[in-house]
């Protein structure tokens, strides 16, 4: 079964005979992008130049247009697919399925002429991700260690809302996260009727507009360069500023600040400074969620993605031990 899927040293997930996912592979005529995070768009310029088709969902295409400019994807033959729409390429059938991660995220299945089903989960949370039956399963391993368990999962959103509300009583609140997660937090706070302006820089603004186009409700957004935003900055009146994690050092540390991370397993909210907090909110499954997906999928072989995180080998070992299913980590780690 292993010949039906593998992962290359540069992170390309190869499914069946024709498809490479989330990195460029020169011998594959098809490329798929599971979602619009940078580590899953590796080698995309080469794929656009050389592949016959580059597959992704419509929201993912719109997000890449917002991030890279609308001319970027025009360099190749991009086919934007709806979830559960199957295309045929020679003797294989390829389908993109919903994954609960960021807007547009997809799992990918390939069914070959022997009716064997090869599945790649991409990044996902098991909460709202449909589990696909598989013969060969390639699964992400971001939190693939038994140490990566969240006992407070159901409490995290309400505690985040309470923390933001507490901060707004003192003035502005700044929230830091990554694209996709930022917009999820906006939606959580908007649904909780946090009725203050949401101030964002240009890059966050454009991505947020794509999310709204595809049905997310994010609240009142205001560009940080607008006159009204400058007035709010000067008056120090309550608002929420949403910034990419890479901008964290550019914001005055005296402000009420919340960094949102999935790498927090002991507390939903942790205070790390006088007005500085770490909030646990992840768009990946924890260790138990990964095992649960494998259990429900019932594959004959599991391949854990060992190219993007450090836990691929650990997860493969735990799958063998806990579920009795053959599991290997690819690519193999280089000997030290």
**Residue-number span of the structural domain to which 119 is assigned:** 2-147+284-330
CATH code assigned at 257: 3.40.50.10890
Q: What is the pLDDT of residues 295-334, one digit of tens each?
A: 999 999 999 999 988 899 999 999 999 999 999 999 987 5
Q: How many domains does the chain have?
A: 2
Q: What is the pLDDT of residues 226-237, one digit of tens each?
A: 999 999 988 888
CATH code assigned at 65: 3.60.15.10
* 133 & 91 share domain: yes
Mean predicted lDDT score pLDDT of the chain? 95
Q: Of 258, 280, 302, which marks where a domain is finished? A: 280
Q: What is the pLDDT of residues 74-93, one digit of tens each?
A: 999 999 999 999 999 999 99
* 167 & 267 share domain: yes
- Contact in structure between 47 and 24 (CB atoms under 8 Å): yes
Cis peptide before 331 (omega within 30 of 0): yes
108, 99, 103, 4: which is closest to 54 by C-alpha?
Answer: 108
- Order of strands, edge to edge, in the sheet holding 136-139? 86-89, 92-98, 106-111, 117-120, 136-139, 301-305, 326-330
* 70 & 139 share domain: yes
Tell me how far the alpha carbon of residue 200 is from its chain's centroid: 21
């Amino acid at each position: 079964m292993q010949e039906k899927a593998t992962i290359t040293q540069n992170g390309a997930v190869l499914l069946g005979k024709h498809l490479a996912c989330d990195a460029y592979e020169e011998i594959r005529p098809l490329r798929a992008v599971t979602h619009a995070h940078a580590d899953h768009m590796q080698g995309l310029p080469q794929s656009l130049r050389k592949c016959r088709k580059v597959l992704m969902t419509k929201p993912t295409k719109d997000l890449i247009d917002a991030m890279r400019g609308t001319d970027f994807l025009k360099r190749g033959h991009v086919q934007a697919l709806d979830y559960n729409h199957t295309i045929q390429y020679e003797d294989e059938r390829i389908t993109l399925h919903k994954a609960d991660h960021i807007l547009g995220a997809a799992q990918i299945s390939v069914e070959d002429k022997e009716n064997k089903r090869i599945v790649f989960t991409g990044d996902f949370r098991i909460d709202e991700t449909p589990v696909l039956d598989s013969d060969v399963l390639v699964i992400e391993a971001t939190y693939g260690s038994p140490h990566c368990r969240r006992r407070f999962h159901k409490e995290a959103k309400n505690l985040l809302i309470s923390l933001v509300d507490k901060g707004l009583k003192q003035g502005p609140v700044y929230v830091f996260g990554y694209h996709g997660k930022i917009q999820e937090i906006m939606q959580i706070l908007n649904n909780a009727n946090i009725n203050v302006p949401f101030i964002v820089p240009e890059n966050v603004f454009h991505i947020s507009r794509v999310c709204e186009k595809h049905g997310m409700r994010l609240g009142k957004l205001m560009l940080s360069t607008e006159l009204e935003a400058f007035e709010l900055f000067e008056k120090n009146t309550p608002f929420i500023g949403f910034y990419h994690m890479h901008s964290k050092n550019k914001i005055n540390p005296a402000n009420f600040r919340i960094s949102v991370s999935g790498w927090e397993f002991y507390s939903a909210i942790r205070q790390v400074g006088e007005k500085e907090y770490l909030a646990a909110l992840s768009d990946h499954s924890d260790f138990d969620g990964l095992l649960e997906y494998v259990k429900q999928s019932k594959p004959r072989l599991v391949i854990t993605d060992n190219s993007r995180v450090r836990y691929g080998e650990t997860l493969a070992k735990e799958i063998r031990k806990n579920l009795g299913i053959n599991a290997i980590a690819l690519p193999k780690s280089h000997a030290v």
